[in-house]
Amino acid sequence: MLTDVSLEVGLAAVLERITPLAGEAVPLLQALNRIAARDLSAARDLPSHRQSSMDGYALHGDDLGQRDNFTLQKCLRNGEWPDAPLLPGQAVGVVTGGPLPEGTGAVAVQESVTVQGEQLFLAVPPRLGANIKLPGEDFLAGDLLAKAGARLDPGLLAVLAAFGTGEVFVYRRPQVAILSLGNEIVPGHMLPLPGQLWDSNGPLLAALAMGDGAEVVSVAVAGDSCTGGVRERMSELLEQADLLLTVGGGAFGICDHALAELQGIGTEILFWGVDIKPGSHSGAAVWRSKPVLSLSGNPAACAVGYYLLAAPVIRSFQGLNPYLERVTAVCIDDFPRSGGPRRFLRALAACRDTGWQVTLQPGQKNSMLRSLVGCNALVELPAGHQPLQPGSPVSVLLLH
């Protein structure tokens, strides 16, 4: 068992145990924001045939520049397939996106012609190919539409719909269970006794995991550890879920039993303790190839542990890059403290004229929730850092 590892060593120890989950076919619209589990390619040309790109009149290729009056044969309506080829001297009305009769050399737009009964007079002759959309203009058969690991955005779903795709093969959503171990924690539907607290880490982790594409199967409080029920509860949740997040009890105080409980159900402990602040009391284990992450009960430490250790697992399960995007930003606030381990301050990042800028969230104590409201970035300060002066460049992890 590794103890007090660096973040990189700890995260690598967990990620090397993770492989993407199986794929599943889901109906097109349910695939929104899911991750493609296979490369997606164009089954045919799009459009599949020549189309008019304007409302107007199809003219024969041989007539272009040769003639200015035509016999109007018919007007094709939307969805109507031409029943005869176009002959020289003829014109056929066509609509935007509609198919063109064989022999069409160009489409004259409505505004360039005069129609009198069956006669059509051309004021401005179109050039060859004018207002004709060629087969495969948007995509050619075999074109790669998206690689496995791509997120299905509205545009990609629309492209798939244009090919008649009914279902998309995407990675299964990781199922996540959350268990708070503290005896002092009660779930939201119960009334706390003196000294007890409502569970806020459970809802925090559930919301964060949902935002990362997970399905939360349980948000529970273990209750009294003395009854021995904690181990049964952990095993039950691990049967159901792909990932178990436990909260609290990860330090070495008199009430800290997370490590003992995890060892008690036969997990392999990957590491215990990480050299970061907040979040130092984080640990990781594996139970029958399923990961367990033990996060701190202090809210800010719980959130940082989630972002740096749990979110990468949830992303890996979906075939995504596990790592957060790192940028350099100017920090407009100061941070007077110095020294100690690597620190991750909760921050708000925005793009300015000079690139990324961050402000520090109010309430940077581990025990406070306040810094998590509206937080979209973590400012990383190296171990033994100096006090941070306003306007300093800092290394930032973007959370969205």
Query: Cβ closer to a second copy: 12 or 161?
Result: 161
Helix (H, G, I), strand (E, B) or coil at 301: helix
Whether a cis peptide bond, with omega within 30° of 0, leads into 27 is no
Helix (H, G, I), strand (E, B) or coil at 294: strand
Closest separation in Å from C-beta 46 to a second copy? 8
**Spatial contact of 283 and 259, defined as CB atoms under 8 Å apart:** yes
Cα–Cα dist 343/341, whole Å: 6
Query: Cβ closer to a second copy: 131 or 318?
Result: 131
- The DSSP bridge partners found for residue 35 are 151
Query: Cβ closer to a second copy: 55 or 268?
Result: 55
Closest separation in Å from C-beta 123 to a second copy? 18
Helix (H, G, I), strand (E, B) or coil at 38: coil
Helix (H, G, I), strand (E, B) or coil at 338: coil
Cα–Cα dist 253/272, whole Å: 14
Query: Cβ closer to a second copy: 231 or 370?
Result: 370
**Spatial contact of 88 and 60, defined as CB atoms under 8 Å apart:** yes
Query: Cβ closer to a second copy: 127 or 147?
Result: 147
Cα–Cα dist 185/182, whole Å: 5
Query: Cβ closer to a second copy: 337 or 365?
Result: 365
Closest separation in Å from C-beta 30 to a second copy? 10
Closest separation in Å from C-beta 134 to a second copy? 11
Query: Cβ closer to a second copy: 128 or 140?
Result: 140
Structure tokens at 376: 């979209």
Closest separation in Å from C-beta 304 to a second copy? 12
Closest separation in Å from C-beta 369 to a second copy? 5
**Spatial contact of 399 and 377, defined as CB atoms under 8 Å apart:** yes
Residue 310 DSSP code: I
**Spatial contact of 96 and 77, defined as CB atoms under 8 Å apart:** no
Closest separation in Å from C-beta 138 to a second copy? 5
